[in-house]
Amino acid sequence: MVLGIGVFTLTPGSVPVVKTAGTITPGPAGMNVIKHVVFIIKENRSFDHYFGAFPGVDGATTGVTSTGQVVPMTPAPDQLMTDIDHNWFSALIGMNNGQMNGFDLIDGGNTNGNLLAYTQMTEAEIPNYWAYAKAYGLGDHMYSSLRGPSMPNHLYTIAATSGGVINDPVLPNGGGGSSTGGWGCDQDPSFSVPVMNDEGEISREFPCFDYQTLADTLAAAGVSWKYYAPSAGEPDYHFSTYNAINHIRNGPAWQENVVPYGQFVTDAQNGKLPAVSWLVPGVENEHPPQSTCVGENWTVKNINALLSGPDGASSAVFLVWDDFGGFYDHKAPPAVDIYGFGPRVPFLIISPYAKPGRVTHPRYEFSSVLKFIEELYGLPALSSRDANANDITDAFNFKQSPVPPLILQPHPCPVLSTPHVAFGTVPVGTTANKTIVKVSNFGTKPIKITNIATTAQFPQTNSCPASLAAGAVCNVTIGFNPSGTGVRNGTITITDSDPTSPQVATLVGTGTNLQLQHNSLTFNAAQVLGSSASQSTSVTNTGTDPQTITGVSGTGDFSATTNCSKALIKGAKCSITATFTPTETGIRHGYLIINSTDASSPWMVPLEGKIATAVGLSAPSVTFTPQAIHTTSGQQTIVVTNYGSSLLHFGPITASAGFSATNTCKAGVKAGSTCFIDVTFTPTTTGPVTGTVTVVDSDLFSPQTVTLSGTGM
């Protein structure tokens, strides 16, 4: 499918001008000094996470949480303990309607109080990326094209559209694919992706599509191209995005133009690069929890090969990260259409004709790189996105004396995976919130480990041998066992033969005399807007001094009540009830906030509503009485109610074999109104028959299903 969505840019007092696919825009004079464009796509970092502290940018070194608290952005791990969720729903949660204060509510964004989403790299951690920015160019308003994860954003890098795809492929049970399996035509047939049309109707489709891409227009114009990416069977093969384009994957271009990503260095050194290259790495792509340092060194190796090779003097490199990765960014993305933009990502412009050291401020998205290529070679736009995109030429001076090539050296990668570990709140005398940090040998010789030590209250166990082989990793598991209430600080120190020894990370946690029955509460059942569901948890005083719960509250779509009206003596407990009443569709997050006389106050307990939907169905299932085969039963009616505040659009409403359905929903259903689905049963065989009615609509959790059953006789 191809979506023809008009995109327009508004400035105060302006009239929107909508450009469409097929537009040919001439580039500026002198642009043809560029003979080789290289588009490098890496993984999962926000702009503020990498460059928020870079001089002269629209950046931030503090962030705002969902409770309104302004927090400093702490040092980012080289290897994260876990990935932060960054799908369509997570982007909406983090962006919070432009308030940009929901990143702590994203799964993994604030586990046990670690505020992982609010971490930031420094120049010392990514020195070569900063060096490129200082020598060449940095864009501080590059937005991910879509509010979501890798697959749809990668599709924008080749086609200026995702074809409506808004999330990565999943199995029917919600599970994901392996890192060596393709995301596209090679995917297992049981996988599907949610596809949203321009009216917001969401269906699920197999992730193999056929629409025009930049490779097609390049080939038609006789312009050479290659897509350097992981091959089948290699880790991260799913980032080889032309796999999702049927006529590429199952045509001659797959063998001729889609090549192993390791080949780029050889081609660059030998002057054999095509006019346009995409370069997509495998395990060096910086996708958490993989090492940022290893990824940066890989980038340097490939750019060195280009800049020192025959094609470097006539090249333009555009280096982006494909989505925000769950990390904080303070800048609200413009809403240009139903899909985007998503949060900002880092953007480096590396070329002899880049304005040296320029921080460029125009608004870009991934389609801007395609626009640059289209202008360079006189190609038509693929969609309204690239037709309307800024073309990045603001970052260039095609008449300047070329900037000398900056050949950089890789830097040593840290032995200890993180400089800082937060453990959250733990009852005194217990050990909880265990966290794994990695000890890695990125060198070529073994590292002799002589000591691993943590300060009191942070016990550790580890799998580290006395000699850690080159390329090996071992784990240190650290717990938190507070000896008293309030904030407790400590360190982990690794002593070894590496030149950076000793490696030290700070440890911090909070001790409490209160013990919660649950560390989090999740509402798993689908909850219709305006309805409520409740869950309870208990709090026990494990200390010797009486403690009083002075108040409880909920944030977002959650509220709280308690029967904790009296001071709790040692061993006494009381209960707290959290209630979920969704006001918007999607996955909803918040906190249960417990205020008390304990030194740990306030204690923030994560809350999650798995599904908040505007679509109410009168019954989850419909059963028909036994029916003679080849005859049709009477109708049974399913009432569909729109509990939302805006018009609900409906796509196909279908019934599986043996059943048929008609409906009154096609015109859409206004807020508070209903439509009807009439279902009949026509068995063709004797015995039990089961099926479903599938409802495609503009609710975020479309499609909805109703189970059907009957018996043929």
What percent of the chain is modeled with pLDDT above 90?
88
Q: List the alpha helices (DSSP H) in 380-423.
A: 384-388
Residue corresponding to tokens 């020195």:
127
Read off the pLDDT band of 20 (50, 70, 90).
Answer: low
Question: Collapsing DSSP states into helix, strand and coil, what is residue 441?
Answer: coil
- pLDDT, tens only, 417-447: 999 999 989 999 999 889 999 999 999 999 9
Domains and CATH numbers, the chain: 33-395 (3.40.720.10), 420-512 (2.60.40.10), 514-613 (2.60.40.10), 615-712 (2.60.40.10)
What span, in angstroms and rounded, lies between the C-alpha atoms of 7 and 15?
13
- pLDDT, tens only, 476-528: 999 999 999 999 999 999 999 999 999 999 999 999 999 999 989 999 988 99
What span, in angstroms and rounded, lies between the C-alpha atoms of 467 and 595?
48
Burial class (CB in 10 A: 0-12, 13-18, 19+), 456: exposed
Q: What is the pLDDT of residue 3?
A: 31
pLDDT for residue 293 is more than 60: yes
What span, in angstroms and rounded, lies between the C-alpha atoms of 258 and 278?
9
Number of neighbours of residue 190 by Cβ within 10 angstroms: 12
- pLDDT, tens only, 315-372: 999 999 999 999 999 999 999 999 999 999 999 999 999 999 999 999 999 999 999 9
Number of neighbours of residue 407 by Cβ within 10 angstroms: 12
- pLDDT, tens only, 540-596: 999 999 999 999 999 999 999 999 989 999 999 999 999 999 998 889 999 999 999
Do residues 505 and 521 touch, judged by C-beta distance below 8 A?
A: no
Number of neighbours of residue 77 by Cβ within 10 angstroms: 26
Q: How many CA atoms lie within 13 A of 689 on its CB side?
A: 23
Q: Going by C-beta distance under 8 Å and a sequence separation of 6 or more, which residues neighbour residue 610?
A: 522, 523, 524, 525, 526, 587
304: phi then psi, degrees, rounded to nearest 5: -60, -45
What span, in angstroms and rounded, lies between the C-alpha atoms of 96 and 99?
5
- Measured between alpha carbons, how far is residue 226 from residues 39, 203, 219, 269, 376 in Å? 11, 32, 11, 16, 17
User: Which structure tokens are listed for 339?
Assistant: 């899909």
pLDDT for residue 688 is more than 90: yes
DSSP assigned state of 344? B
SS (H, E, C) 55-74: CCCCCCCEEECCCCCEEECE
- pLDDT, tens only, 86-100: 999 999 999 999 999
Do residues 276 and 240 touch, judged by C-beta distance below 8 A?
A: no
DSSP, residue by residue, 187-251: S-TT-BEEEE-TT--EEEE-S-B----HHHHHHHTT--EEEEEPPTTSTTGGG-GGGGBHHHHTS
What span, in angstroms and rounded, lies between the C-alpha atoms of 103 and 63?
9
Question: Collapsing DSSP states into helix, strand and coil, what is residue 16?
Answer: coil
Edge-first strand listing for the sheet containing 432-440 = 432-440, 473-480, 460-462
Q: In this structure, are strands 258-260 and 225-229 parallel, antiparallel, or unpaired? A: parallel
Residues found in the chain: 713
